[in-house]
Structure 1
Amino acid sequence: MTPTLLNLEDEFTHLSLAPQLGGSIVNWSVRGTGLPLLRHSDAHALNTGLPGKLGCFPLAPWSNRISEGGFECPEGWLALTPNSLTDPLPIHGSAWQQPWQVVSQTRDEVILQLDSTTPFAYRARQRFHLSDGKLSIDLKVTHLAERPAWYGLGLHPYFPRTTGTQLQAQARHVWMCDGTKLPTHLSPLPAEWDFQSLKVLPDTLVDNGFCERDGHCLIRQPALGYELECQATGSDYYLLYCPVGLDFFCIEPVSHPVNAHHLPGRPGSRLLEQGETAELGFSLHYRYPSN
């Protein structure tokens, strides 16, 4: 069954959301031309019912993969099981695999909410706002369980990739990974992964976490005739995924590196008591290139 979509518009862009499919963005595009600002989702992608086939989905109460079958909380071990047909490890939390409820909707703003009991009780809210070609997404979680738990947040947008797609994003170090896609050690940036200045995306696979960032990134799409000026808050890391030979890439604002629950000091993770909250924001501003 095709899910019900919510639609927002501003002067320049159009946004469609699928609350039932993990509170996901289906499409964000330019009004009039239909140019995709996030990877285009067609009817087939929508009918799969899989947020990973759409434009963007939320990551809560953690981002990316967790090893060892779970993680330690102050009150004991929290066991987790794999939750994706394409990955042997628990991945991306639980918010993306549950239907969200509509709290409110206007022409340019939607607020969605999820009350979850998996893997512990929490409430998540997403606020989507459109204004003058700028999409703002605010993700907030509140811990509801009596016992404290470790949290992390993120967003997983998919962007179009064409010949010449360029990225600018500050970082100082990158987590190198093993064959299981889990981080092993921090490394200075290889030259081909240094995006301090605008650079065409590499032709080889990138699936790594970058740290010591300022939250800003610029995505320039010469073949499509626009750029996106992006800014993240509550996000000291980003994950860059550039699959070889596919027409999309991902730069994901996240609050912690992959498998932070098992890294020394649990970098970027937050231990929340009942009633405490964590937040992450991401804005994407559509505009014509400045040069």
Structure 2
Amino acid sequence: MPLRLDDELTSLTLAPELGGSIAKWTVKATGQALLRNSDQHALAAGTARRLACYPLAPWSNRIAHGGFDCPDGWFALAANSATDPLPIHGSAWQQPWQVIEHTPRQICLQLDSQLPFAYRAQQRFRLIDGRLNIELTVTHLAPRAAWHGLGLHPYFPRTPHTTLCAAAQQIWQCDESRLSTELSALPAGWDFEQACRLPSELVDNAFTGWNGHCRITQADAGYQLDCHASGVDYYILYCPVGQDFFCFEPVSHPTNAHHLPGRPGLHLLQQGQSIDMQFSMQYRALR
């Protein structure tokens, strides 16, 4: 049986066995997909990266050099995706999660992971009046301290008329491996302080100086999502060329922060210490 939450306006379906992912979030009256809809082919593929949203823990995006340094030594990492030569998005999205609570208004999933070190992750989903709230908490369980980051990776429908409003101050430029290299001013067409359409060129960059607010307007489909994040200061915008989706990822740190000066946005956690974030998306029909 699908794992579902329903409120008066929307319906949420989860796939805990596929990385603790969201399979679909839709408007009940019309069936309109508010996140990328996971059909049976996507579910049968057996990977969170074909679904609507998945958690990022214990880090977001890519890490270079085969691992990262911690106070007690080096944590070696291997590539974990057939489509990327670098370790990407942590390990939570590649493991089955357990349902530890399911009430009419909320579901809590939990993962006890040993990869790449011991940690526990929890996701709590709440749905009320068209508002989906996701709380992600990660607790370090290994004896050796380690650097942690976290985030969420939602996929949104994209049409030529989709607009984004999400003010930021700077962007991390990337090299050909999509690793962050240096901070710069926002390029022309990449300033979303005022709502504007998505760039036609490839974007796969971390934006910093974000206040946590975001609005995605889908005029063709007659709705908007008013979003808010806490516990994270960055977002990664991924706009692949020629696709019918884009990703707006609230994250704690830029790509490859483990190897950037000062490790921006990462947290060195001792055994038993935790970090958390929240991300909410409020559905509103356009008149």
Q: TM-score under structure 2 normalisation? A: 0.99
The 3-state SS of whatever aligns with 1:45 is: helix
Note the 1:104-119 alignment, pairs <5 A: 104-119=101-116
1:282 maps to what in 2? Answer: 279
CA deviation string 1:147-187 (max 9, x = no partner): 10000000000000012000000100001111111111111
**Residue of 266, 269, 272 corresponding to 2:266:** 269
1:246 corresponds to which letter in structure 2? Answer: Q
Inter-partner Cα distance in structure 2 for 1:107 and 1:28 = 16
2:121 corresponds to which letter in structure 1? Answer: A
1:175 maps to what in 2? Answer: 172
Number of residues of Structure 1 aligned to a counterpart in Structure 2: 287
User: Alpha-carbon deviation of 1:213?
Assistant: 0.6
**Structure 1 portions without partners, runs of 5+:** none
Q: Is 1:81 the counterpart of 2:78 in the alignment?
A: yes
User: Alpha-carbon deviation of 1:108?
Assistant: 1.9
2:132 maps to what in 1? Answer: 135
Inter-partner Cα distance in structure 2 for 1:138 and 1:117 = 21
Q: Contact between 1:163 and 1:223, CA under 8 Å: does it hold in 2? A: no
CA deviation string 1:226-252 (max 9, x = no partner): 000000011100000001110000010
Alpha carbon RMSD of aligned pairs, Å?
0.8
The 3-state SS of whatever aligns with 2:226 is: strand
Q: Contact between 1:27 and 1:36, CA under 8 Å: does it hold in 2? A: yes
Between the aligned residues of both structures, percent identity stands at: 62
User: Alpha-carbon deviation of 1:107?
Assistant: 1.6
2:12 maps to what in 1? Answer: 15
1:124 corresponds to which letter in structure 2? Answer: A
User: Alpha-carbon deviation of 1:288?
Assistant: 2.1
**Residue of 145, 149, 159 corresponding to 1:148:** 145
Inter-partner Cα distance in structure 2 for 1:57 and 1:34 = 21
1:276 corresponds to which letter in structure 2? Answer: Q
The 3-state SS of whatever aligns with 1:46 is: helix
Inter-partner Cα distance in structure 1 for 2:240 and 2:199 = 10
1:78 corresponds to which letter in structure 2? Answer: F
**Residue of 44, 50, 64 corresponding to 1:53:** 50
Inter-partner Cα distance in structure 1 for 2:219 and 2:78 = 42
1:90 maps to what in 2? Answer: 87
The 3-state SS of whatever aligns with 2:41 is: helix
1:201 corresponds to which letter in structure 2? Answer: L
Q: Is 1:229 the counterpart of 2:222 in the alignment?
A: no
Inter-partner Cα distance in structure 1 for 2:265 and 2:184 = 18
The 3-state SS of whatever aligns with 1:96 is: helix
CA deviation string 1:45-82 (max 9, x = no partner): 01101101000000000000000000001100000000
Q: Is 1:214 the counterpart of 2:211 in the alignment?
A: yes
User: Alpha-carbon deviation of 1:203?
Assistant: 0.9
Q: Contact between 1:149 and 1:271, CA under 8 Å: does it hold in 2? A: yes
The 3-state SS of whatever aligns with 1:66 is: coil
2:252 corresponds to which letter in structure 1? Answer: S
Inter-partner Cα distance in structure 1 for 2:286 and 2:229 = 20
1:25 maps to what in 2? Answer: 22
Q: Contact between 1:9 and 1:130, CA under 8 Å: does it hold in 2? A: yes
User: Alpha-carbon deviation of 1:287?
Assistant: 0.2
The 3-state SS of whatever aligns with 2:189 is: helix
2:155 maps to what in 1? Answer: 158
CA deviation string 1:189-232 (max 9, x = no partner): 01200000000111111110000110000000001100000000
2:277 corresponds to which letter in structure 1? Answer: L
Q: TM-score under structure 1 normalisation? A: 0.98
Inter-partner Cα distance in structure 1 for 2:163 and 2:116 = 38
1:188 maps to what in 2? Answer: 185
Inter-partner Cα distance in structure 1 for 2:13 and 2:185 = 39
**Structure 2 portions without partners, runs of 5+:** none
Q: Contact between 1:27 and 1:55, CA under 8 Å: does it hold in 2? A: yes
Inter-partner Cα distance in structure 2 for 1:31 and 1:68 = 46
